Structure 1
């Protein structure tokens, strides 16, 4: 299987020039999308029970357990099928609701970032985030 091209973003920030939009959320968007989804990546979608976990470390541990249980080959097979049903040359853009530029610590994370790290560890392939990110705080004299 050739390497999948993956990226992540929010439903709200996605634009068709970015690639093929893929749902990775437990629920459908409750707002009209100006584009059509290319598929639903069910093997990387968090479960309802996962969504109840509020502590990032506990969530990531449980989400990685879900991903490892589903297996890299199965995840790649599912994503490959979605790519094959759409434009093979376009990256798959894995979508969720959380705008990273609007989250504040310690809640400045979401499952798509955990997936990206897991996938990079498994394959060596980075999964870039295409949405806006929270700006780093300015440097102070003490940081220099």
Structure 2
């Protein structure tokens, strides 16, 4: 066990005070960043074949979680520790992707990773970006 702390966020919403920014996307960043990435977590990155498959969220998650399970917690932890250790182990390793969660119907591999990691290790993985969209209350909700 280590002192590694993990969080998730979007590239767009990340700021350097949140921790060590770590890429988890199959493709590179599509726009200029106001910060330098700490590295690329290849073991957490979904393969292009999965990204391009156009699967529904539940099917995507099934295949992605299988990838994570096949790799295992120990190897993933070692990779994240190597990246974060080069920066600041006192700060969270922040796994980044493009998908904003405040849009209706949006889902992302980073939240699937967080759920898997917590189930496997008992360690919480907070989302630092916008929280998932919730419909506005109606008159009947009061």
Structure 2 unpaired stretches of 5+: none
The answer for the alignment partner of 2:17 in structure 1 is: 17
Identify the match of residue 131 of structure 1 among 121, 129, 132: 129
In the alignment, is the contact (CA less than 8 A) between 2:4 and 2:81 conserved in 1? yes
Runs of 4+ in 1 over 4 A off after TM superposition: none
The answer for the alignment partner of 1:56 in structure 2 is: 57
Query: By how many angstroms is 1:83 displaced?
Result: 1.5
The answer for the alignment partner of 1:3 in structure 2 is: 3
Query: TM-score, length-normalised on structure 1?
Result: 0.91
**Partner secondary structure for residue 21 of structure 1:** strand
- Alpha-carbon RMSD: 1.4
Query: By how many angstroms is 1:139 displaced?
Result: 5.5
Report the Cα distance in structure 2 between the residues aligned to 1:60 and 1:10, rounded to whole angstroms: 19
| Count of equivalent residues | 140
Query: By how many angstroms is 1:88 displaced?
Result: 1.2
In the alignment, is the contact (CA less than 8 A) between 2:21 and 2:38 conserved in 1? yes
Matches for 1:36-55 after TM superposition, within 5 Å: 36-51=36-51, 52-55=53-56
**Partner secondary structure for residue 21 of structure 2:** strand
